[in-house]
Structure 1
Amino acid sequence: MNSANNENRKWEVLESEYLIRRPWLTARRDHVRLPNGNEIPEYYILEYPDWVNIIAITKEGEFVMIRQYRHGIGETSFELCAGVCDDGEEPLTAAKRELYEETGYGNGKWELWMTVSPNPSSMTNLSYSYIATDVEKISTQHLEPTEDISVHLMSKEDVKELLLSGSIRQSLMAAPLWKLFALSENETNR
């Protein structure tokens, strides 16, 4: 790879102003200078804590999926269990907590599956995806007052059909599932 591909092209922040700071929305406006000297006086950044989601599979091979309403797109859909890392919380700890709270499932073997940026052009956070295998029901749900989540056990074929039909709309959940199915197909074809 040539050195031009490895060159850091970081922008210089000349000025930064917070427009709103709320628990679920922090937005700032940066005035930046590009490496070529051009300036962008209004570049908007959304600051979020890191997120987690979990591909949870029971000892019987069933996927633990949730279904909930998403106001942004006005739809109720199937998703992976997911949530926010609390301040100072490690992503794995947050993932185990979210699975337990939202579904009542836990234990099992955990592996970091992938880390992606929700939108690197304007968002500051990362999303950590885990695979938890051999999980088991250990409790009831422990939902927050603002959560309305139902739990569904699904076969691998059912989850794959949700992806193929476009029923899983959340890209940060579709990506790790597509990776799982792609790698499973490659192993089957060997």
Structure 2
Amino acid sequence: MTGPKPWNVVHTECVADCRVFDVLARHSQRGEGGPCFTFFSIDSASWVNVVARTAAGELVMIRQFRHGKGGDVLEIPGGMIDPGEEPEVAAARELLEETGYRGRLRLIGEVNPNPALFTNRLYTFVAEECERVAEVANDAVEETQVELVDPRALPERIRAGEVDHALVLTALYWLQLHEQR
């Protein structure tokens, strides 16, 4: 079975620099000499997220304000990978900054957040045996509050819509797959 015909990118231009991502216009054609169409994508640094668990088995989660939702969101720690930074280093940094916790990290999954729009990758880590070793170290545009969550209560919190971040749900599924091995 062969896949769909690829598109040839004739020209790419940045149409918006939004600080944490660029919006690209890709002028593309299918095959040689066909008509050109413009497709838009979001070009961003790759991201990490961390499913962190204490020695007692609690999930180390954070609550923070998200501008897209216009309200608080319960999620797991994560963020952008800095230029030249390895995903595992970024995961450890984000976990420490957003929660004050540190743990033993292992990569458990990698996905494209939305291949219709995004050019980046999301790396999901599990952090085991997490311990609080520092205060939360938010910057001027972020405020996170740590919540330790009993994993047995998580399904109901998801059903109730308290945890509704798609990338967090993806990470929790990666954890489930990881634990089934």
TM-score with structure 2 length normalisation?
0.91
1:175 Cα offset (Å): 1.1
1:20 Cα offset (Å): 1.6
* Of 143, 149, 152, the match for 1:154: 149
2:92 match: 96
Aligned runs of 1:55-66 on 2, under 5 Å? 55-66=51-62
Deviates further, 95-104 or 159-168: 159-168
Show CA shifts across 1:40-92 (max 9, x none): 42211110000010000001111000001111121212100011000111111
* Of 39, 43, 59, the match for 2:39: 43
How many residue pairs match? The answer is 181
Q: Secondary structure at the match of 2:110?
A: strand
In 2: Cα distance, 1:176 partner to 1:96 partner:
16
In 1: Cα distance, 2:34 partner to 2:153 partner:
51
For the 8 Å contact 1:65–1:80, the answer to whether it is kept is yes
Query: Identical aligned pairs, as a percentage?
Result: 31
1:34 Cα offset (Å): 1.6
Unaligned 5+ runs, structure 1 = none
- Residue identity in the other structure for 1:116: V
2:75 match: 79
For the 8 Å contact 2:61–2:149, the answer to whether it is kept is yes
Show CA shifts across 1:128-167 (max 9, x none): 0100110101111111011111001111112222223232
In 2: Cα distance, 1:38 partner to 1:82 partner:
42
- Residue identity in the other structure for 1:92: E
1:96 Cα offset (Å): 0.2
Deviates further, 174-183 or 97-106: 174-183
For the 8 Å contact 1:31–1:39, the answer to whether it is kept is no
Q: Are residues 88 and 166 of structure 1, via their aligned partners in 2, closer, same or farther at CA, if it must alter by over 3 Å?
A: same
Aligned runs of 1:1-190 on 2, under 5 Å? 2=1, 4-5=2-3, 9-35=5-31, 38-106=34-102, 108-181=103-176
In 1: Cα distance, 2:156 partner to 2:178 partner:
17
In 2: Cα distance, 1:115 partner to 1:183 partner:
12
1:181 Cα offset (Å): 4.1
In 2: Cα distance, 1:134 partner to 1:65 partner:
14
For the 8 Å contact 1:59–1:134, the answer to whether it is kept is yes
TM-score with structure 1 length normalisation?
0.87
Provide the alpha-carbon RMSD of the alignment: 2.0
Q: Secondary structure at the match of 2:139?
A: coil
